[in-house]
Structures are given as structure tokens and as C-alpha cells.
């Protein structure tokens, strides 16, 4: 008798599997003969017990919103316990049909919107299962200059590679901006590139069904004749398969380039050469790959000014450094300003929690960059915003007087300042508040010193 086996750290056991023991040896009865991939049947590998278990766990870890059916990630396991045999039978006999993705628009910092497509949690699990099998097949064929959505690769590695090209003398960059890339991928061309490595027609059919599953917008389903919607577990891999053709072209021509998903920078030694490269690149992307290039945002420029993954380069007497782009700095400051708006009415505990959540992620990403001065300045400004916020919370003179006394201010001064008519912002930089709401006191109340956090993170790069 087969014993239950653990499949992850969460304690999720084999008895909660998606795959049922009765399917161990099941093969498709709609497909006459097995399609092997280097001796391995891909479709059966995708639907194997272990692979589906790993896919389920990944979907649960990612959490995410519900799709068109309203099922949340924590409802997935109870549903699978009841319907797993039916689901697996449909997948094996080819009658399973993916549901449309739910269209969601996320505001961009520049004022536009990013269109996301949210599949149902069941479809996310199946897409993840496909991704886990196909990723090891395709990843070795991708360019060493491609960093997005690949195992053991990151945006930090991409910007470090860009820095190395600048140090080698490539002082100009061809910055290519693709318009709505994920929504404009040509399905027929994408399937042609996939078929180069995948011969199992059941896998190809399932991928095609996901591409053509449709999009629900305002309750109405629209056909999806092109694109691989951002938000699906399979979309990142499919996007890399598609743009790998562009990578091949750049490699063949001997160009130095860095690509992270649809963000691609090509490094050259002269502006004149850059104009030739950008024109030929646009011709290939629009002509061969049928993509839309934003010609207004695409340009030949300097890596010291052009933004790439939120960063740009900084030449110093100690060599070339990486720094956050000015836009990234102004954006995070605006977010902090919104969090610390003095009339929000949230407790300081909530306030500090939101600041910590925002700045931990921001510093972990941008901490690779040189910005000691900016972080010190931002830290001082933020603490002043917090003092203003707390002073506003105290509201009445009696409350202010009592709190100032409790924080060590002598009675006469506490009385004077509790009855002051000066504005909140002016008071926030006063000697009295700096003596009472000291930096140490703010930390005791739960404030994460963002300057110290940055120094710690930056020292580890």
C-alpha cells in the first residue's frame, strides 16, 4: 500500500493530492499513440501526481485574486477533493475547456493603465503544471542576456550586466519600448516556435486553448485573437519563447544587449550606430514578430539618463555605479506622502506597518543602488511627516499637554506648546517635538528607520 508523502513545507500530504491513484497509468484515449519528448511523454508528465501537487502549492503560495468563477485560492483544495477525478478525465480525454480570464486594469505611475488577465485558480494550477515541465526544455535555449522570468535570474543581474557593457566602452543605449507587448503576441507564430521543441499535440492543443480562452470585460466575454495576458502562470514563459527570436537576431549580429521580459536595451559605441540598430530592430519586431513598438518612447540615448528596470548608471571617481532613476525616487516619496497624510485617521501602529511594508520591498529592490544622501534626506522628511501626524492625532491642548509631560517635557513648556497656534508642519520641526518624539522614541513606537535599513541592505551587495 502506497504511503502518504509530503510534497512541501506546508504539511500538505498526498491524500490531498490533485491526482488520484487510479490515474497512475492512465493515458489519453482520444490520441492514438503517445507523443514522446526525448523518451518522456510530456502530457502525462504535466498531469503526473507530483507535478500537479507542486503546481497546486505554487498557486496557493502566490495567492492572488479570484477569476471569473469567483473561486479563491483557499477554496481550490476542497473543490479538487470533490472534482479532481472529473477534472483529470476531461484533461485526459481532451474535453477540458479553460475559462476566460478576468480583465483587470492596474494604474501605472505615469498615468496609464496596465492590463492584467486573471485566470481562474484551476486554470492557474494547470498553467503552472505546464510551465514546470516546459521551462526546463526551453530555458537552456534562451540567451544568456535574457533575465526576466527565468530561474536564478533577476533584475539586479540585468542591471549589473548593463553596467559591465558601459564599463567596456558602450556609452550609448538603444532603448526599445514595446506597446502592450503581452496583448499583441501573434498566436500562430508563438505556436510555431513552441512546436520546434514540443511535439506532443495534446500539450500544444492545451496551450492553444489557453491562448484563445477569451477575456471577460465588464461581464462580457471577448475573443482573444492575439496576446498572452499578463497574470497567467504560463505567460512569462511564452513571452520569453516569443522574444527569444529577437535575442537570436541580436546575438547573430554581435550586439551587446540586456533583455528583461519586454524591456530591451542594446548597447553600442556611437550614437550614429544606435540609429541604424534601432531602425533595424523595429523593422524586425514589427515586420517579423508582428509587435507594436512605441516609437515615441523608444530612443537612442545615454545609460546615465535612460531608465532601465527603474535604474540608471552613475560614473564616479571610484568607477561606474548603479543608482535608482529619479522617477523611482519621486514615486516612492509620493506614496509615503499619501500614507502619512495627516487627516487619514489611522493609528500610528497601522501607519508604521504600511510604511514598513512599502519601504521594505522598495529598499530590497533599489538597495543595490547608490543613494545614501537621498535616503538620509527622505528619512528626515518622513520622520517630520510622522511627528506632524502624531501631533494632529493628539488634537486637543489637554491631550497634547499630557503627552508632552509624559514624554519628558517640563510643565511650563508643555503648556505653552500645547496651546500654540502654529501650523502642523511648522510644529513638526520644532525643538519641543524633537525633544519629546525623538528618533529613538519613534523606533520604539514601531518606526523602521529607512536610512539604517538601506545601509544594511546596500552593504550586502
Residue ranges of alpha helices (H) inside 218-270 are: 235-252
* Cβ atoms within 10 Å, residue 140: 7
Confidence of residue 461 (pLDDT cuts 50, 70, 90): confident
Phi then psi dihedrals of residue 79, to 5 deg: -65, -45
User: Above pLDDT 90, what percent of the chain?
Assistant: 78
Q: How many alpha carbons fall within 13 Å on the CB side of residue 260? A: 16
Among 22-26, 88-92, 381-385, 396-400, whose mean pLDDT is lowest?
A: 22-26
Name the phi and psi angles at 324, rounded to 5: -65, 140
Q: Which of 226, 204, 201, 202 is nearest to 215 (CA)?
A: 226
Query: In what order do the strands lie in the sheet containing 215-217?
Result: 113-118, 101-107, 215-217, 220-222
- Rounded to an integer, the average pLDDT of 52-61 is 96
Rounded to whole angstroms, how far apart are CA atoms 248 and 187?
Answer: 20
Predicted confidence (pLDDT) per residue in 257-279, tens digit: 999 999 999 999 999 999 999 99
For residues 403-418, average pLDDT: 92
Phi, psi of 282 (to 5 degrees): -65, -40
Q: 262: which 3 cell numbers?
A: 519586454
Phi (first) and psi of residue 102, to 5 degrees: -90, 120
> Reading across the β-sheet that carries 263-268, which strands appear in turn?
256-260, 263-268, 172-176, 299-301
Q: What is the arithmetic mean of pLDDT over 175-184?
A: 90
Nearest to 98, CA basis, from 68, 54, 66: 68
Query: Which residues are 189's β-sheet partners?
Result: none
Q: What is the mean pLDDT of the chain?
A: 89
Q: What is the pLDDT, as a whole number, of residue 36?
A: 58
- What pLDDT does residue 33 have? 40
Per-residue pLDDT averaged across 124-149, rounded? Answer: 96
Of 5-19, 63-77, 255-269, which range is least confident?
5-19
In this prediction, residues 334-353 reach a mean pLDDT of 93
240 phi/psi in degrees, rounded to 5:
-70, -35
DSSP secondary structure, 315-351, as one string: EETTEEEEEE-HHHHHHHHHHHHHHT-TTS---HHHH
Q: Which pLDDT score, from 0 to 100, does residue 362 have? A: 97
- Amino acid 224: pLDDT: 80
Q: Cβ atoms within 10 A of the Cβ of 443, count?
A: 13
Global pTM reads 0.84
Q: Are 320 and 163 in contact (CB under 8 A)?
A: yes
**Which of 2, 4, 31 is CA-nearest to residue 17?**
4
More confident residue, 199 or 110: 199
Quickly list H helices, 139-234.
155-167, 187-195, 201-211
Task: Render pLDDT for 353-379 as a digit per residue (tens, 0 to 9).
Answer: 999 999 999 999 999 999 999 999 999
Amino acid at each position: 500500500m502506497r504511503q502518504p508523502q509530503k510534497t512541501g513545507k506546508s504539511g500538505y500530504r498526498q491524500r490531498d493530492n490533485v491526482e488520484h491513484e487510479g490515474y497512475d497509468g492512465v493515458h489519453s484515449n482520444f490520441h492514438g499513440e503517445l507523443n514522446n519528448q526525448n523518451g518522456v511523454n510530456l502530457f502525462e508528465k504535466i498531469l503526473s501526481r507530483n507535478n500537479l501537487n507542486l503546481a497546486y502549492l505554487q498557486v496557493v503560495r502566490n495567492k492572488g485574486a479570484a477569476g471569473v468563477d469567483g473561486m479563491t485560492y483557499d477554496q481550490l483544495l476542497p473543490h479538487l477533493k470533490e472534482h479532481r477525478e472529473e477534472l483529470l478525465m476531461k484533461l485526459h480525454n481532451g474535453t477540458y475547456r479553460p475559462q476566460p480570464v478576468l480583465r483587470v486594469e492596474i494604474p501605472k505611475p505615469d498615468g496609464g493603465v496596465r492590463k492584467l488577465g486573471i485566470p481562474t485558480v484551476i486554470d492557474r494550477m494547470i498553467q503552472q503544471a505546464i510551465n514546470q515541465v516546459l521551462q526546463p526544455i526551453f530555458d537552456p535555449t534562451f540567451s544568456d542576456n535574457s533575465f526576466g522570468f527565468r530561474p536564478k535570474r533577476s533584475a539586479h543581474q540585468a542591471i549589473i550586466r548593463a553596467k559591465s557593457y558601459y564599463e567596456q566602452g558602450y556609452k550609448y543605449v538603444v532603448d526599445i519600448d514595446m506597446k502592450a507587448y503581452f496583448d499583441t503576441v501573434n498566436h500562430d507564430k508563438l505556436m510555431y516556435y513552441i512546436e520546434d521543441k514540443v511535439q506532443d499535440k495534446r500539450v500544444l492543443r492545451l496551450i492553444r486553448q489557453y491562448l484563445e480562452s477569451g477575456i471577460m470585460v465588464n461581464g462580457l466575454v471577448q475573443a482573444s485573437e492575439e496576446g498572452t495576458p499578463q497574470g497567467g502562470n504560463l505567460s512569462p514563459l511564452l513571452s520569453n519563447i516569443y522574444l527569444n527570436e529577437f535575442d537570436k537576431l541580436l546575438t547573430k549580429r554581435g550586439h551587446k544587449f540586456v533583455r528583461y521580459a519586454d524591456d530591451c536595451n542594446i548597447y553600442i559605441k556611437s550614437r550614429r550606430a544606435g540609429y541604424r540598430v534601432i531602425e533595424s530592430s523595429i523593422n524586425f519586431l514589427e515586420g517579423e514578430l508582428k509587435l507594436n513598438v512605441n516609437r515615441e518612447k523608444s530612443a537612442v540615448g545615454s545609460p546615465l539618463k535612460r531608465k532601465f528596470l527603474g535604474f540608471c548608471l552613475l560614473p564616479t571617481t571610484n568607477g561606474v555605479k548603479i543608482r535608482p532613476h529619479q522617477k523611482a525616487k519621486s514615486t516612492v516619496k509620493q506614496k509615503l506622502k499619501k500614507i502619512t497624510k495627516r487627516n487619514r485617521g489611522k493609528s500610528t501602529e497601522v501607519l508604521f506597518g504600511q510604511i514598513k511594508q512599502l519601504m521594505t520591498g522598495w529598499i530590497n529592490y533599489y538597495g543595490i543602488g547608490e543613494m545614501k544622501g537621498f535616503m538620509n534626506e527622505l528619512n528626515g522628511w518622513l520622520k517630520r511627516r510622522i511627528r506632524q501626524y502624531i501631533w494632529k492625532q493628539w488634537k486637543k491642548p489637554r491631550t497634547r499637554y499630557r503627552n508632552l509631560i509624559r514624554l519628558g517635557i517640563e510643565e511650563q513648556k508643555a503648556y505653552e506648546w500645547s496651546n500654540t497656534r502654529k501650523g502642523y508642519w511648522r510644529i513638526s520641526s520644532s525643538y519641543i517635538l524633537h525633544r519629546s518624539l525623538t528618533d529613538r522614541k519613534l523606533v520604539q513606537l514601531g518606526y523602521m528607520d529607512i536610512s539604517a535599513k538601506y545601509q544594511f541592505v546596500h552593504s550586502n551587495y
